[in-house]
A and B are shown apart, each in its own frame.
Chain A
Amino acid sequence: MKNRIRTLIAAASLALLAGCASTGENTEETAQDATAQQGVAGQPGQEAYSYPYGQAPSGYDTYDTSGGGLAAAGGPAGGRAGQAVSADRIVYFEYDSAEIRPDSQGIIEANARALNGNRRTVTQLEGHTDERGSREYNVALGERRANSVRQAMIAMGVSPQQIRIVSYGEERPAAAGQDEQSYALNRRVEIIY
């Protein structure tokens, strides 16, 4: 039920967005209506000059990328719409670290066994960080975490062809709080397949 309400609201918001996109007439007029400016010249203490108003943005078309966007969507996680991943497919990390913790070995092993059991299964390892620090550096850190899990899985016999990696950095937190408990839940690699 909760999901349904969410979908309805999302649909309503998209409809409204479409409405917003079409209210771009104002800005389009701006573009067509090139404006000139004249200084009042000739008297002392005055300035005379002109400049174009070309800087006014115009015609903001907006794009909805929810349909998969420009590139082919695909990928093993293509259909996942942000549902929570079960705890046995999440590997957690210490702050500023991409080292596999001893308590994560079991989770990685269980998933490696599943992947070894079916060579056609492809997993996507999604790296995440907490929100602290630079966003792009966090993308790199999230990838490093995903690579740690990848290396561990390969060491357990999983074929590199079965593993894909994407890092979202801090962009998709699992917990919204700004406290150590939430941060710990966000420093993770999700094993999606």
Chain B
Amino acid sequence: MKSFVKILGALMLLLGVGSLAHAELTIDVSKGIEGRGIPIAIAPFGGGAPENIAGIVASDLQRTGKFAPQPAGAQADYSVTGQAGPGGSRGYLVQFQLAGAQGGQLLNLSFDVPPNQLRPVAHRISDLIYEKLTGEKGLAGTRIAFVTAGGGGWFLVVADADGQNPQVILRSSQPIMSPAWSPDGSRLAYVSFEGRRPQIVVQEVSSGARRVVSAAPGINGAPSWAPNGQRLAFTLSKDGNPEIYALDLGSQSPVRLTSGGAIDTEPVWLPDGSVVFTSDRGGSPQLYRIGPGGGAAQRLTFEGDYNASPAVSPDGRYIAMVHRRGGRFHIAVLDMKNRQFRVLTPGGLDESPSFAPNGKMIIYSNGQRLNAISVDGSVKQDFVLRGSVRDPVWAPYSR
């Protein structure tokens, strides 16, 4: 009976993926935001478009943790007004204005879109407002990938950053793990156990075209794209124990970057081409760094006896990781500039950190669900999805 319930859960998720994509889904993002934001009044967009543009903008801005959306007419530092209705050459004309408290106009834009782009346009409006008022790039228009499992199946899913519009890009009766976005956001590398052995697959997200890039004996794990998108680093144990390799995607043979009898795994690239990875060569898992071609490793973490699963911020300044303290697993972050180490989450079974493309948020899994937290710890998001969800990765900005 228990498995039946599990399967039903998976089915409901998948039904949402299919025909109900624009209806109420079993997936939603709670507004678990701490702290107060800048008041911004958002008026409903008139005009009769089949998406609630103002509602999407309000929830996008609320989710950033920096804004407190208010109903139209409320006292606020800023106000958003707009129209979305039939018109333009593509079906719908969407216009919006952002004004300051004194009525001074800050933004006034219009978009000519087909019906299926109303939601993306709403996210775009959110990001334009966010960027105008904070000076940072927004995340409303970005995507995430994650793995969900249930009923004996594993699913690789790509969704909007608000959890909406989920698309299953791979389903398997065997585990799927460790998805990684290519730097241009067009491809995902991941580990698939199809055929009951691990292999590293690169899949183009739009076409679904797949290529197995590694199926060596033993572990094929933890793929990570070099900043130029031309190389993949990953873990192979074909020579007896897990070592870091780098593969030029134009070639067939990976080059080994580490050696020794310890576990070396979870490589990620810094912007300068050096590689950070997890190793237990010192007796406990810690993060180390090696040059682009390997060589001597420099130890990066010294707090506690378990630091693993590194993720690098887009600018290379921060390394997020899984950190064990008092038997609990937390997400922690190391500032590479001043070597300051901070524990960000209350902890439990936290794992799989991944930076948002603006470098401000980290998405991770608490073992059951997805959460996101700002690098400064001030903003928290809780993604509520049915079923067990893990291995989140935030997509880069598209070209």
Would you call B151 and A13 a contact (CB within 8 A)? yes
**Distance, CA A141 to CA B221, complexed state (A):** 13
Chain B residues closer than 8 Å to A70, beta-carbon distance:
194-195, 199, 201, 210, 212
Given known pairs A13-B11, A46-B109, the reply for A60 and B114 (CB within 8 Å) is no
Are B263 and A141 interface neighbours, CB within 8 A?
yes
Query: Is A29 among interface residues, defined by CB-CB distance under 8 A?
Result: yes
Complex CA distance for A43 and B109, rounded to whole angstroms = 11
Residues A71 and B197 in contact in the complex (CB < 8 Å), given A23-B18, A40-B108, A54-B399: yes
A65–B194 touching, CB < 8 Å: yes
Within 8 A of B (CB), among A1-26: 5-6, 9-10, 12-13, 16-17, 19-21, 23, 26
Is the C-beta of A117 less than 8 angstroms from some C-beta in chain B? no
Complex CA–CA separation, A140 to B240 (angstroms): 11
The yes or no answer to B51 lying at the interface (CB within 8 A) is: no
Q: B residues 150-171 with Cβ under 8 Å of A?
A: 151-153, 158, 167-171
* Distance in Å: Cβ of B264 to nearest Cβ of chain A: 8
Give the interface segment out of A74-82, A84-92, A106-114.
A74-82
A102 at the B interface (CB under 8 A): no
The reply to whether B112 and A40 contact each other, CB–CB distance below 8 Å, is no
The reply to whether B177 and A74 contact each other, CB–CB distance below 8 Å, is no
What is the interface size of chain A, counting residues whose CB is below 8 A from a CB of the partner?
74
Ranked nearest first, the 6 interchain pairs of A and B with the lowest CB-CB distance are A69-B194, A20-B18, A61-B208, A55-B398, A65-B194, A66-B173
- Report B's interface with A, CB cutoff 8 A: 3-4, 7, 10-11, 14-15, 17-19, 21, 90, 95, 104-114, 116-117, 120-121, 124, 141, 143, 151-153, 158, 167-175, 177-178, 185, 192-199, 201, 205-208, 210, 212, 215, 218-219, 221-222, 235, 237, 241-242, 263, 265-266, 278, 285, 306, 308-309, 322, 324, 329, 349, 351-352, 367, 390-391, 398-399
Residues in A lying within 8 Å of B, measured CB to CB: 5-6, 9-10, 12-13, 16-17, 19-21, 23, 26-27, 29-31, 33, 35-40, 43, 45-47, 53-66, 68-75, 77-78, 82, 131-137, 139-141, 143-144, 147, 165-169, 171-172, 178
